[in-house]
Structure 1
Amino acid sequence: MRTTRPLPAAIALIGVGAVVAVAVWRPWEDSAHAAGGPAEISVSRSQCGQGWTDAKTGRQTLTVHNTGDAAAEVDLVEVGSNKVYGEVEGLGPNTSAPMDVQLGAGRYAIRCLIEDTDAITGPTVTLTGDAKGGPAAVAVTKNDMLPLVKQYETTIVGGVADLAVKTDKLRSDVDAGNLAAARADWLPAHLAYNSLGAAYDAFGDFADQIDGSAGFHPLEKGLWHNASAASLKPIADQLAAAVHGLQADLPNEQVDPNDLGLRAHEIMENALQFELTGENDQGSGTSLNTALANLDGTAKVLAILDPVLKPRYPELTQVKMWEARVRALLTAHRNTPVAQLDQSTREQLNGAVGELLEQLAPVAALCEVRRSS
């Protein structure tokens, strides 16, 4: 399987109601045709970058052909700055793939990342002309991300400890038959989980046991639909056991470095789909509170990614602006069931979250770990 993309691509989110479609937008696509035809460039241990003979500025499609015997990743980089303007991943032997790029004047080269081989950089190609270059970013390496992952994992330890305390209190309420107290304590425990951020994928089966088809949601349904304490006790006990199981297993859990950037977008995408529509609401009417906790999780991820994003993403200020806008709207309407929002408020919320998602979309591509050596 192969993929190709410019870096970073801007992502446009087009929402109709609760349905969100994701489409890649490239600033040069309004032009009727790419400048010139494709040039085939060889990729192998011995021929990296050979064949780039019709180099030009402007938007163009290059064709890279793997003439070697091992799969390869191919980057088009600016010499000196090491910015990546285009990428093809998973290019198998004897296969070709297009690479869409937009290049300004400068010095460029093809970089070949071949299995079991150090990075190989092909001949430098010098371009002149007035065309404006497209989006690009310095590749993020594993060494860039590992300290950030460790920092994030440290915050998760504290977050899960807080979750355990609040879940234990919730379980004690149910075990004592005090369902009024359980209803009051359900939300703080639920928000503690939903503010954790990007670690969900590392939680494995614990994620579903805590906040999937088991755990918080069936407990919420029972608490707000007159279930008996006796019927809710096994659910509360199971939830607390899952949280403590997660806490005990945290030293064995590992957050994938690529998940940090990916989840920054996905957390709020899920909030738009499941919380702002009220789909996840099982009776408590607290979906907007949960969406606010999701936003806290996103903000936590972005703060940790800041050293990587700040030099690579000029629109980071827009991310923070729209994060503040969404926070203000959610704070103003928390504790209000989604069904009770007027149409204007719902449109404002959906629009603001949609805009935030558009600004967050490039984060995953920018923070994806790539080999550079």
Structure 2
Amino acid sequence: MRPPLRRPARPAALAAVAAAAAAAAGAAVLLPAGAPAGAPAPPDGLPRTAVEASPGSCGRGWDRPHPGRQVFDVRNTSSDATEVYLTDAATGALLGEIEGLAPGVTRPLQAVLGRGSYAFRCLPDDADAVTGPTVRVAAGPRTGGPAVLPVTVHDLIPPAIAYQARVAAGLDRLTGKVAALRAAVDRGDTAAARSAWLDAHLAYARLGAAYGAFGDLGEAVDGLAEGRPLGVRDPAFTGFHRIEHGLWHGEPAAALRGPVRRLADDVAALRRHWADTRMDPADLGVRAHEITEDTLRLDLSGRTDHGSGSVLDTARARLDGTAEVLGLLRPLLVRRDPGLPGTERWLDRTRRDLDAVRPVRPGGPRPLPGALPAGRRERLEADFGALAERLAAVAAVCDPRRTS
């Protein structure tokens, strides 16, 4: 069964943005945004500044600004947990952040500062944001470390609405393809049913970023036998992979009519459910990363294969879904993610390398990843692994942050 999606924790997420920005700039420095509570101070020899974080004293203690890489030991002196941002005062871009700083706790925030104006911003739970005094660094390099303009939920609403409409259209197409599969099974045409199954399953895989919003219906439509008490014989094993197992393991068409009818009913319910669903806008960036990670972990390992050998085709369909999400988010990313051109090039590279090992003729032999020459398989795994890392920066940029 597919595990639930995971949203990256904020400090790790901003570190991913810093890594992408540093890579784009050719820098070798990766900047962690904040260390875990209680972590010992690293013996890095960096200059340190003690800073308070509370509604009445946000940024207090930073009265001797200087350029370069440095550490701010941020202490929450209030009675409520707070988020802390170090911002470029002129643009509002974030150079570092600490999420969930508990009362009385001190955590380090590392940053590289160039010439410019900076300010701490404290965002207590259940209270308005407070911006501390502006501090000017007058000397040093012209620019500092990686910084990213924050994205708000409001920014993400238009692409989320556009994506919901595209998924609705995709579910309409999926319904028609499942009907074709059902017709082939009903007339006992196994060859036509196999072709229709692949067509329908790839249509589902292209929905990409939506699958995490499908809930139990998504599991019913595309769940795996893996982890079920009775495996492929488990009554709860339904959907595409149940039918795949039957079609490619000699099960008579008559025995598949029930599972196909159940699939058609579940897809129809999913279509109705989606009409009333409001996808969380914050999920778009996370889904793009997680789909690629799942493709590497499940499809390229062969774990999702139940006989058809079509996992490479499925991986290609999921890349299409990832590209669609990235295209919708692109207007937000252009000004925020300096690694975006590299991510788009890497997506194209992954497509090309995957297409080079997929069958060129419908119905042709479909190799499982494990049967590929070692060099080809390793290249694919490297492609998807690097793409997942780059998309982690997308997830970090698109993780909405408070502005008030």
* TM-score (ref. length: structure 2): 0.83
1:9 alignment partner AA: A
* Greater strand fraction, Structure 1 or Structure 2: 1
Distance 1:26 1:166 in 2: 50
Is 1:254 aligned with 2:263? no
Displacement of 1:28 in angstroms is 5.9
1:51-90 residue pairs with structure 2 within 5 A? 51-90=61-100
2:399 alignment partner AA: E
1:301-320 residue pairs with structure 2 within 5 A? 301-320=325-344
1:147 alignment partner AA: P
- One of 131, 151, 167 as aligned partner of 1:156: 167
- One of 244, 254, 259 as aligned partner of 1:230: 254
- One of 283, 299, 309 as aligned partner of 1:285: 309
SS in 1 for 2:100: strand
1:10 alignment partner AA: A
Displacement of 1:66 in angstroms is 1.7
Distance 1:26 1:237 in 2: 56
Matching residue of 2:386: 355
Contact 1:112 1:121 in 2 (8 A): yes
Displacement of 1:363 in angstroms is 0.5
Distance 2:212 2:18 in 1: 24
Structure 1 runs, 4 residues or longer, greater than 6 Å off: none
Matching residue of 1:244: 268
SS in 2 for 1:257: coil
Matching residue of 1:16: none
Contact 1:34 1:59 in 2 (8 A): no
Q: Over aligned residue pairs, what C-alpha RMSD do you find?
A: 2.2
Displacement of 1:172 in angstroms is 2.2
Matching residue of 1:45: 55
Distance 1:257 1:316 in 2: 20
Structure 2: 5+ residue stretches without partners: 1-8, 21-27, 33-41, 225-237, 360-365
Contact 2:10 2:396 in 1 (8 A): no
Contact 1:43 1:50 in 2 (8 A): yes
1:105-116 residue pairs with structure 2 within 5 A? 105-116=115-126
Is 1:9 aligned with 2:22? no
Displacement of 1:252 in angstroms is 2.4
Displacement of 1:81 in angstroms is 0.8
- One of 180, 203, 219 as aligned partner of 1:169: 180
SS in 1 for 2:63: coil
In the comparison of the two structures, how many residue pairs are matched? 358
Seq. identity, %: 43
Contact 1:28 1:59 in 2 (8 A): no
1:163 alignment partner AA: L
Distance 1:179 1:72 in 2: 60
Deviations 1:81-113 (A, max 9, x none): 111011111122232222122222211000011
Matching residue of 2:38: none
- One of 210, 213, 223 as aligned partner of 2:221: 210
Is 1:198 aligned with 2:214? no
Matching residue of 1:184: 195
